[in-house]
Structure 1
């Protein structure tokens, strides 16, 4: 490992942010020392606004005084900069492309529809968003079907597991807060098995926000979002 590099790593994040949590998982899996800075999403620091002036959101990774933005980009940067095991992205170019495609699918389809379901005001709107979430999860279920490995890329956690790892913890919290039923174990047995493997990994289960705090936070967030539509701030 390159200790001189590690000493210069700083991460701006926020405890309920699934996007920031992805980066902490990647850093911890690679064994990289870093300094974590907690941001208040409702009162963002001048440093965050300076480093990410367009989107004004976490996470932001600072390495050698340079900022890297967007969680999935940051994970790739980490894997390419610290070239030691475990490797997060597959070595094969086609497998790397497939992993990136599924990661984008997780953000564009699963995350978007699940978040919309949580924040929907009317029941009809919520039901539609829930169904869209389930339809998206069916594709991920199909990708896992027939695989004997514990994770998407094998027996070790990789890039795609990190990218959609939020499904294992955030989505059940959103189900509770929004009084929704999405992760049906009969409909999604392979996803449920993957969730169990993911959450039981030592570096994951010891790096999750407290569930009761998550539930309280998202109850408050949902109340704010449904009462003030223009405040739809994702985390």
Structure 2
């Protein structure tokens, strides 16, 4: 079942609220440094960085901006740093790959119980 417009708007609101919480966490944990753990990429940076391709997928296909310069300026900077880091350049799936994977999941997901 696909959420109706009201459901989609509620989900967008949650995404925006949670991204602001993540912004606050970044500011607190980074202590003004480039990454969550400080000057270098740490475990939390890698863990969250792995979700960035999906974040772009969600943004593109749901008309929502997860990170933006007004609400989450520090995370926008962090995303740019992570995307440019050599460790992330190699294995980031393209949007087309994610779309194909998502479509495959949709065709194989079990029906929802009534």
TM-score bracket, shorter-length normalisation: 0.7 to 0.9
Match of 1:42?
none
2:77 maps to 1:193: yes
Aligned residues: 111
Contact conserved, 1:177 with 1:215, CA < 8 A, in 2? no
Structure in which a larger fraction of residues adopt strand: 1
Higher relative contact order (CA 8 A, sep 6+): 2
Q: 2:2, 2:24 → 1: CA distance?
A: 28
Q: CA deviation at 1:221?
A: 5.2
How far apart are the structure 1 equivalents of 2:32 and 2:90? 25
TM-score where L is the length of structure 1: 0.41
1:212 matches 2:96: yes
Contact 1:152 1:158 in 2 (8 A): yes
- Can you give the 5+ residue segments of structure 2 that lack an aligned partner in the other structure? none
Question: How many angstroms apart in 1 are the aligned matches of 2:8 and 2:104?
Answer: 16
Q: Is the 8 A contact 1:121 1:226 kept in 2?
A: no
* 2:30 equivalent to 1:144: no
Task: Pick one of 154, 157, 180 that aligns with 2:41.
Answer: 157
* Partner of residue 170, structure 1: 54
Question: Post-superposition, which runs of at least 4 consecutive aligned residues in structure 1 deviate over 3 A?
Answer: 221-230
Q: Is the 8 A contact 1:151 1:194 kept in 2?
A: yes
Name the larger-Rg structure: 1
Cα distance in 2 between the residues matched to 1:225 and 1:126 = 23
Consecutive unaligned residues of structure 1, counting only runs of 5 or more, are: 1-118, 231-235
RMSD: 2.7
Partner of 2:7: 125
